[in-house]
Amino acid sequence: MFLATHLRFRPSHFAKLFFAVAMFGIFVGGPLLHAGDDDELDSYKIRADAFWLYSYPSGNIQGSGDTDRIDINSDLGFNSYSTFSGFVDWKFTHKNHLTFAVSPFEQTRTTVLKRTITYQGQTFDVGLATHADLQANLYAPGYQYDIIRRRRGHLGVAVQLDLFDANASLSAQAQTVNGMHHAAVSGSASLVAPIPTAGPTYRYYLLDSGKLFIEGNLYGMYLFGYGNFLSTVNDLGFTINKHLSLNAGYALGSRLVVTNNASTNRVGIHLIQQGAVAGLEASF
């Protein structure tokens, strides 16, 4: 399932988010606990999801030894874009799952700088036409255990190792701005950020026929001086037949933070995404 959004998460936002998930767990968990032993509506061995996301990214990048935070919107002119995500779930026992998620992020943009910025020790002067390339692809193997699994759905806990393969580069060709010649300048850096995450996941069928269901998750982890990650997404699904369903929803919160570090040459990334999601799910 797609993990991703944009909320400027202050402590109050975290509290409200966790409270909402807890209340939903109580709301969903009650009916599940009293469900009968009939055949489960959510019965499968292999499940694959393909989602389209229309994302509104925001955030900043920072060189390994730089103090300047470069805003991807106001400085580099990044804007909304379409992308996809994929999720595969192998339910190898009644309550145990092995999962794998992938979600690419890649944007390029050429813009005229409105201010002088520094990246990887290189100075990009105001007025330079600068090309920016930012990638932060996600690959996430994981495991899920269903604490509650009944006819109308399940409530479980999942853990993932989120591997962010990130690269950020800026370049400007030699050019003349306001009568002053500027030499070509470029700076780039890449990193692989492994961030373990964990959190609740659920699916609940609103109708006994199994035609309509809601599902979602909340993943997060704080890694002290290294960084942190938080994401949540919820969607509504319509069952077409035994093997196919259509899903649509909204990514309410995906926030990746990797702090920069001069001694390890690690760049800093603060990337937030949000947007509508829609896709197709196949179960066998």
pLDDT at position 20: 52
Phi, psi of 192 (to 5 degrees): -115, 115
Q: What's the whole-number mean pLDDT along residues 188-206?
A: 91
* Residue 277, burial from CB neighbour count under 10 angstroms (0-12, 13-18, 19+): buried
pLDDT at position 53: 85
pLDDT at position 118: 92
Whether residue 4 is predicted with pLDDT greater than 80 in this model: the reply is no
Task: State the chain's mean pLDDT as an integer.
Answer: 84
Confidence bin at 253 (pLDDT 50/70/90): low
Q: How many whole angstroms separate alpha carbon 278 and alpha carbon 222?
A: 29
For the stretch 125-150, pLDDT in tens is 999 999 999 888 889 999 999 999 99
Whether residue 12 is predicted with pLDDT greater than 60 in this model: the reply is no
Query: Could you tell me what percent of the chain has a pLDDT over 90?
Result: 48
Q: What's the whole-number mean pLDDT along residues 103-111?
A: 86
26 vs 5: which has the higher pLDDT: 26
Contact predicate 116/123, CB 8 Å: yes
* Tokens, residue 31: 């009916």
256 vs 205: which has the higher pLDDT: 205
Q: What's the whole-number mean pLDDT along residues 46-59?
A: 89
From the options 2.40.128.90, 3.40.30.10, 3.20.190.10, 3.40.630.10, give the CATH code of 11-283: 2.40.128.90
- Pick left, alpha or beta for residue 39 (phi over 0 → left; psi -120 to 50 → alpha; otherwise beta): beta
Q: Which residues contact 198 (CB under 8 A, 6 or more apart)?
A: 157, 158, 159, 160, 219, 220, 221
* Tokens, residue 2: 């797609």
Confidence bin at 275 (pLDDT 50/70/90): confident
pLDDT at position 218: 93
Confidence bin at 1 (pLDDT 50/70/90): very low
pLDDT at position 124: 93
Whether residue 17 is predicted with pLDDT greater than 50 in this model: the reply is no
Q: What's the whole-number mean pLDDT along residues 77-91?
A: 89
Q: How many whole angstroms separate alpha carbon 99 and alpha carbon 102?
A: 10
Q: What's the whole-number mean pLDDT along residues 40-63?
A: 90
Whether residue 221 is predicted with pLDDT greater than 80 in this model: the reply is yes
172's enclosing H/E stretch is strand 153-172
